[in-house]
Structure 1
Amino acid sequence: MKKEIIVDKKKTKTLIKDSKSIRKEFLSLYTKACEEGKEEADFFHNVLKHLYGTEQQISNIRKMDGLEDSEFPRYLMSSKLIHDLFDYLVEDDEIEKMCQCTGVVDEKTNTIVPTEILKLGMSQRSSIYVKGDRRSINNTYSQLDDYLHSIVIQGHRHPGSGPGATQPSSIDLRNHKDMEMCYPVIGIIFVKGGYFRFFSSDDKFEIEIYGTINGKEVVKVDDRTYRIQDVN
């Protein structure tokens, strides 16, 4: 006989909130340990994974019982922000580049609105690889904590052009999965020709783009890929 699961709405919501708060503390410990090259970094990373997994399990139970909206997070993107991201990331050379965005997170409606580009320092750059500078990243995250803000977008460029060049690599997906344990973040990959693709490790999100670029609509190529018209 299947045992009925009785869900206490207030308690499960509090558990998720408490877990997120604890996860934030461990995130600070993890980033500090990484910066200082301490062995404890692996331990803190594993704790973050377990906390994130627990939150997801509780959230799934709430959704099954109708206590939580089962819709995927919805990202409302400004066409101007997209154009600014493209201009910043896609330059004349073929060297990879990265940045992040912060924004407004409305947990009640599961809606996220990216608002500002964060131009991080980069410790390594080549035609096929880019790595953020750890000190620059930590300083940025510390400043965001002062405003109770979060990372919501991680953007970078790929070499090449055309929609096929926007596919995330296995490294992109692996790194992004780690970020998703800590932040409500999706990725954007830009290439020459104006193509860009949204992605995440589980592909469970919705995108809406508002506005035009130079008076023209942003063209939707497929479910996750778009194009800015009339750019090189």
Structure 2
Amino acid sequence: MIRRLWRHAETEPAQPAAGDTADQAARDTDGQRYARRLIAAELETAEDAFTTRWENEADLPGSIDALKRWHAWRTALACLEQAETPGVTFHVDGVVLADCYTAVCTAPDTETLTYLTGLTIEPTVRTLNRCLRVDHIEQSRGGAAADPDDSFAVLQELDATGRRLMAYCHNHPGRGAAATAPSSTDRRCQHRLEAAGYDVIGIIMTRDGYVRCFSNDLDFTVNLHGNHVQEIRPHLFRLDEPVRTGSLGHAA
């Protein structure tokens, strides 16, 4: 969709010959600038329409319609910004994965959610080095829901310290790598976050130590640091038994 939007004011070029990549990049950049101007204009129009209709208390349906249009264009802008962003590299400390495992896998038949934060070294280079526990309003074998008030407090704390939410982690019942596959609920949650402009990743763990990092559209890589965490393939890892049994303490 975004690629078609970039081309809105252009004639679709033929396939570039060798050596034309610089010209293609320039055309893409021009298209991106045009798309930004278009979206900014539509956002402004939708915001003005909402303000006008909101002030007219009798036009509640018009206000709702204008607000929906504003949200749609805001989502388009978030998608454009995500499309322009190169892949993100997450440097993950083995200690934080051990902490997450302790937080979410203590009750193997009940899903538990936790948040993660870290440092932004560069726009596309980040660390995950802190696990943030959060209260729940619902927990079962089939899912978990964080308490909105506690989630807001956690996000406020991050904002106050100049950090932000970078990932979220929960467990799946079952064992083996296949049990870490994102469910349709996980995919919908990730879609809402990405559509709102949050370039975060999801992490799913199992009781026997399998760990999967995932996203829907965000291009990312994970670099592990520390011992006792083995990479099986990109985005899939396993915690060694000493980490799972707690016999290492925090020396993961």
- Alignment TM-score, normalising by the size of structure 2: 0.66
Instruction: For residue 144 of structure 1, give the secondary structure of its aligned residue in structure 2.
Output: helix
Gaps of 5+ in 2: 1-9, 13-25, 44-62, 246-252
- More off after superposition, 86-95 vs 169-178: 86-95
Rounded Cα–Cα distance in structure 2 between residues aligned with 1:46 and 1:147? 34
1:221 CA drift (Å): 2.0
1:47 CA drift (Å): 4.6
Larger Rg: 2
Alignment: residue pair count: 194
Rounded Cα–Cα distance in structure 2 between residues aligned with 1:76 and 1:147? 20
**Contact 2:199–2:218 (CA<8 Å) still a contact in 1?**
no
Rounded Cα–Cα distance in structure 2 between residues aligned with 1:42 and 1:118? 38
1:143 CA drift (Å): 2.1
1:157-216 per-residue CA deviation (whole Å, 9 max, x = no partner) reads: 000111010000011011112122242210100001111100011252111001103xxx
Question: Are residues 1:212 and 2:222 paired?
Answer: no
1:92 CA drift (Å): 4.3
Q: Structure 2 vs 1, CA of residues 178 and 92 (structure 1 numbering), >3 Å: closer, same or farther?
A: closer
Looking at secondary structure, tell me which structure has more helix per residue.
Answer: 2
**Contact 2:222–2:234 (CA<8 Å) still a contact in 1?**
no
> Which residue matches 2:153?
139
The one-letter amino acid paired with 1:229 is D
> Which residue matches 1:226?
237
Instruction: For residue 198 of structure 2, give the secondary structure of its aligned residue in structure 1.
Output: coil
Q: Structure 2 vs 1, CA of residues 152 and 47 (structure 1 numbering), >3 Å: closer, same or farther?
A: farther
Question: Are residues 1:158 and 2:167 paired?
Answer: no
Rounded Cα–Cα distance in structure 2 between residues aligned with 1:54 and 1:188? 26
**Contact 1:219–1:226 (CA<8 Å) still a contact in 2?**
yes
**Contact 1:151–1:184 (CA<8 Å) still a contact in 2?**
no
Runs of 4+ in 1 over 4 A off after TM superposition: 3-8, 40-49
Rounded Cα–Cα distance in structure 2 between residues aligned with 1:46 and 1:137? 28
> Which residue matches 1:189?
204
Q: Structure 2 vs 1, CA of residues 209 and 177 (structure 1 numbering), >3 Å: closer, same or farther?
A: same
- Alignment TM-score, normalising by the size of structure 1: 0.72
Question: Are residues 1:2 and 2:16 paired?
Answer: no
> Which residue matches 1:179?
193
> Which residue matches 1:102?
117
**Contact 1:174–1:201 (CA<8 Å) still a contact in 2?**
no
The one-letter amino acid paired with 2:87 is F
Gaps of 5+ in 1: 23-39, 64-69
